[in-house]
A and B are shown apart, each in its own frame.
Chain A
Amino acid sequence: MTTVMIVEDEVFLQDLYTEVMTRAGHEVVANAPDGEAAVGAFRAMAKKPELILMDHRMPVMSGVDAMHEILKLDPSVCILFLTADFSIAKDSILGGAVGYIAKPFTMEALVGAVDRVLALRAQRAAGLA
């Protein structure tokens, strides 16, 4: 089981991703409605989530800005962007995100992307990638 944090300003999508991640056997440990709240929550958590599902276009602080702040706190966390804003694909990957999925996508594609990210993470931990 992987611990997941969801950063998304749209509550319907927060609920959807929470349901999908739970059905896939992961544990959603936090939800944040914007980048600033995500950074604050991440800083306050004694046990950091292993994976963050991150939107980009959000009020207060964008997903890319939040990613930079979070990776300063813990460079090992995997951040997967889920966004309709294709223009930030390059910035998110160069900034340290492990992947990017463009909205809209199927839930099957989301689970598949999470599985691939976690497999890559396991390989890195084992020194294979």
Chain B
Amino acid sequence: MLSHDLANHQQAALGFLELLERSEALCDTEKRLVARTVESLGHSARLLLQVRALLAKAEQATAKPAPVKLDRAVEAAKRAVEGVFFTHRIAISTEGLAATPTVRADALLTEALTQLLVMLVEGAPADRDCHLSIEGSQEGDRVLLRLSSEGFALDPRVTDALTATRSQPGRTRAASSVSLVRELLGHYGASARLERMPGSVGSRLVIDMPVWGSP
């Protein structure tokens, strides 16, 4: 409810700023200030997603794993990210999700997925289209979800946090996001890792999840 109300106020503020931005009465300095305000509101929207994930984590103690359909969780995460980065040109393609079996997870999987997609999008240059792909596949009693960026890499701070052998909560926003994702996923035996993409400029994150009903 809190995040819903915050989202409404962000929508209103961004909408009014968009109208202001178009005003012919504004001088260049005022237009620059409006653009900076829009940018700042965009950052606060991303932080809101992190707050939402933290609230989800607080509820995790009482959450019980259940069968989750990956295509639905991915769609919800996609919508959240496209919504927050709505001033960017983001295209997220998906493949193989409907064919994957249900996984052992809960609603918090969407929050973890959202955080990982945000990490990828934040690596995208502001002046270019942002292409991401999400591919699901089954390997034995595990389901792998590969989230890849095309033509741009993850922010090095995120890469460092993902490859760190020990979590470093609170040191940077990237580190705390990675730590949060690990906690959300680890609750039901899932994990996230970075996968090498030889010959590509992009980055790939892999979520490894247990199939529902597997030991």
Contact = CB atoms under 8 A, between A and B. Distances in A.
A30 interface: no
Interface stretch (B77-85, B122-130, B140-148, B200-208): B77-85
A102 B13 CA distance: 16
B8 interface: yes
A107 B79 CA distance: 18
Nearest to B5: A10
Q: Could you tell me the dominant secondary structure of chain B's interface residues?
A: helix
A84 B8 contact: yes
Contact of B12 (A16, A23, A84, A106): A16
Contact of A103 (B8, B13, B19): B8
B18 A13 contact: no
Nearest to A14: B12
B18 A104 contact: no
B11 A104 contact: yes
Contact of B19 (A57, A86, A107): A107
A20 B15 contact: yes
The 10 A-B pairs with the shortest beta carbon distances in the complex, nearest first, are A12-B12, A16-B15, A104-B11, A86-B79, A10-B8, A107-B18, A84-B7, A103-B11, A13-B12, A107-B15
Interface of B: 4-5, 7-16, 18-19, 45, 75-76, 79-80, 82-84, 86-87
